[in-house]
A and B are shown apart, each in its own frame.
Chain A
Amino acid sequence: MRRFVPVIVVALLATVPLWLGDPYILNAFITTGIFTIAAMSLNLLLGYTGQLSLGHVAFFGIGAYVSALTALGFDVELFDGFHVVHEPWPVIYGFILAIVIAGLCGYLVGKLSFRVRGAYFVIVTISFAEVVRLVALNWVELTQGPLALTNIPPVTLGLPGIGYANLYGKTGNYYLVLGVGVIAYVVIKHLVQSRIGRAMIALKENESLALSVGINVTRYLVLAAIVSAAIAGAAGSLYAHYLRIIDPDIFLFLYTVTMVIMVITGGKGTLAGPVVGGALFGAIPVIVRSFAAPEVQWILYGAFMIAIIFVLPQGIVPAIERWFAPRPSKKQLVASQSSVSAE
């Protein structure tokens, strides 16, 4: 039964544009969907390898910039008189390049920080994101810096030689986001429910022990970083072509925070967690906007977050799972008082 839940959810989501008349809500669905994909990618790192990337927006932003620049073209003088000129390419190449280059950056960060863990990994990722933001801000020639990249073309679907269709409209973009979301979900699912996934979890739980049974911890951390970054890059690309303008504000720390909120409230380390958290925290701003003053909207948002964690500290999805899968004989680890057992 449980296996079919995702299928049913996707089927239901696929009907949304058919009956939802309100473009504002559809817009909320699309942006929420994009951030949910990013949150899913973050979950791979945070929930499975236990490494919190608070600079995750860097991959998202890199994906957005790569994709936009591929589609717009650029002319950069690297050093005296040496120009790199790029003519605009079809958007689909941008999308693919976004994934590849974001993945490469994930490789870089994974490799660079292969020895740092926990808080130190957090700060390396934050630093990386800040450095990338500052490059986007200051390398005006390439990125237009704060002047923003405008007139980014919408996604075109099709194959060279056969023809293209522009996705200006919301419905097209909606299905695109849904499609990418489903692929991302399946990729992550296959990955974590496998030997590789177990290796990642082992790294999170007890690194020395993982090493001692022959798990190449670094390799799996790097792999997780690559996949995670690549998916975030895909989300960024979707974002750029949907919003059709990007500037260094895309590296807003708030966006990372949004992703983290989605992952943890939904339930980190669960496949459905980021999706549920994403849906919830995509909906809340829309709902509170209708009745509360601006500051109060934020206060409610924050208070709601705290409330969820107080009631369901593991997140929503694990709580639901426990509800539906009562295995009474299974012993639970009582973590609270007295964990006096040597580890």
Chain B
Amino acid sequence: MSEFLQHIANTLILGGTYALLGIGLTLIFGIMRVVNFTHGELYTFGAYFVFLISSVLGLNFLLALPVAIIAGLVLGALIELLLLRPMRGADIDTTMLVMIGAMIVMQNSEQLVWGGVAKSVSTPFPETPLVIGPVSVSYLRVFVLVMALLLIAATYVLINRTKLGKAMRATFQDRDTAALMGVNVRAIYTATFAIGSSLAAAAGALLGPAYVISPHMGDIASLKAFAIVILGGLGNITGAAIGGFILALAEELGAGYVSSGYRDAMGFLIIIAVLLIKPTGLFARAERIG
């Protein structure tokens, strides 16, 4: 029983992590329909940024977070302006390839700059865990979970309740018509990619200290993020958040009660199963024919 409770606690913690990875991609992949292979690199970028600020420059970890978010915003805007804008009108696979190219360049640049050796960041959080009955979790991870939930809520409000959010959705549903409504579609493209990127950087900034930071940390992060976004239904923020927790649950119970070798397989089997039952994700949108 206590093991089970610990697994559930782990699920919450890990689910928060996954949800955080997913929401940035929901904007870029779910709404913009850009298969964003740089997501993992922006995540890595955020992590290295925190390392730079808190370990190299010796500034406060809590300061590093907002700065990393802003840096992600800027880098995302640059990627959009330099790589995506010229590709406007190209189809999704072609854009994807550009993003793969960008990923290769970014990942190896990171390695060139930082070397392949993993870095770690120390945080102001106590190293002794928070113990509640049979369950024990690290303070840092609780902080990450809380931040993840806050960022999810903020993104949800942004997309569904604000004018900017409406303009974003409108732009990617029908660019010309959005322009006719007075939306500056170029600015929206840049803004959406930048915001999505900054969320990835935020995830890196929060999780980098929880894990270790290396040029390859983005690889599985990307893969999981894609899975989560699709599990939740493209462009659906709440879907992505719930998808993150479901994936975490599948992995946690898979490793705990089936076999740790098949831990990741459990996650992917769940995804396959969900898509077989609901081919457009858990929270599919209505569509019509004719």
Contact = CB atoms under 8 A, between A and B. Distances in A.
Contact of B103 (A137, A302, A309): A302
B118 interface: no
A288 B261 CA distance: 38
A57 interface: no
Nearest to B88: A336
B279 A309 contact: no
Interface stretch (B11-19, B61-69, B146-154, B265-273): B265-273
Nearest to B113: A295
Contact of B275 (A123, A131, A137, A336): A123
Interface string A277-307: 0000000000000000001101101111110
A55 to B, nearest CB: 10
Contacts of A70: none
B176 A299 contact: no
A208 B109 CA distance: 45
Interface string B199-240: 000000000000000000001000100110011001000000
Nearest to A257: B100
A67 interface: no
A157 B195 CA distance: 58
A127 B88 CA distance: 29
B226 A302 contact: no
A148 B35 CA distance: 33
A250 B94 CA distance: 25
Interface in B245-284: 259, 261-262, 264-265, 268-269, 271-272, 275-276, 279-281
Given A119-B230, A120-B279, A264-B97, A313 B105 contact: no
Given A112-B276, A120-B279, A123-B271, A134 B109 contact: no
Contacts of A305: 97-98, 100-101, 104
Contacts of A264: 93-94, 96-97
A119 B96 CA distance: 12
Interface string B83-120: 10011111001101110111111011101100000000
Nearest to B37: A257
A332 interface: no
A113 interface: yes
A113 B275 contact: yes
B272 A138 contact: no
B29 interface: yes
A131 B268 contact: yes
B289 interface: yes
Interface string A7-36: 000000000000000000000000000000
The interface residues of chain A, by DSSP majority, are classed as: helix
A260 B100 contact: yes
The interface residues of chain B, by DSSP majority, are classed as: helix
A120 to B, nearest CB: 5
A260 B94 CA distance: 10
B272 A301 contact: no
Contacts of B226: 122-123, 126
Contacts of B94: 264, 309, 313-314
A340 interface: yes
Interface residues of A, number: 49
Given A113-B275, A123-B275, A306 B83 contact: yes
B88 A302 contact: no
Interface string A128-149: 1011001101100000000000
Contacts of A135: 265
A337 interface: yes
Contacts of B102: 302, 306
B290 interface: yes
A127 B271 contact: yes
Contacts of B268: 126-128, 130-131
B86 A310 contact: yes
A138 B261 contact: yes
A304 B104 CA distance: 11
Interface of A: 46, 52, 112-113, 115-117, 119-120, 122-124, 126-128, 130-131, 134-135, 137-138, 208, 253, 257, 260-261, 264-265, 268, 295-296, 298-299, 301-306, 309-310, 313-314, 335-340
Given A115-B279, A119-B234, 18 more contacts: A112-B272, A112-B276, A116-B280, A120-B280, A124-B272, A127-B271, A128-B268, A131-B265, A134-B262, A134-B264, A302-B100, A302-B101, A302-B102, A305-B104, A309-B94, A309-B98, A336-B88, A339-B176
13 contacts: A116-B276, A119-B29, A119-B35, A119-B234, A126-B223, A127-B227, A134-B264, A138-B261, A253-B223, A295-B109, A298-B108, A302-B104, A314-B94
